[in-house]
Structure 1
């Protein structure tokens, strides 16, 4: 599994799945936690990949603990 890369005040990672359906399920499973924490990623899905960009807009568009917490959550969700 790849690690998060910090670039231009953004955490970046691409998650790869066996199918489009698995990629979409990952996004759906993450949605409740994202809503609960009110910290929404910039992400996109192309076939079996989900590309994620994390930055905290209300902190001046920089990486904060909120981003690291969401990154850890997504990593743990991906491992399941």
Structure 2
């Protein structure tokens, strides 16, 4: 579940293994390029943390972040994350 904290939408995902986590990140990258809105993220083995904020709106959470979060959540469901 996405949480809003300190002007970011934040979500943590856990996958079966590193390969699955990396595949998920690749799919997120494709969507981010498609909508021209890019996340901050961190990956360690099977864990991925994503933070969304809109830099052009003064580092606040905007509708663009919610749209990307929804797309990311849909991708994560495919991995049962």
> How many pairs were matched up?
78
Structure 2: segments with no counterpart, 5+ residues: none
When the two chains are superposed, the root-mean-square deviation of aligned CA atoms in Å is 0.6
Structure 1: segments with no counterpart, 5+ residues: none
Q: TM-score, normalised to structure 1's length? A: 0.94
- Local SS of the residue matching 2:75: helix
Offset of residue 21 of structure 1:
0.5
Q: TM-score, normalised to structure 2's length? A: 0.93
49, 53, 59: which one pairs with 2:57? 59
14, 17, 27: which one pairs with 1:16? 14
Runs of 4+ in 1 over 3 A off after TM superposition: none
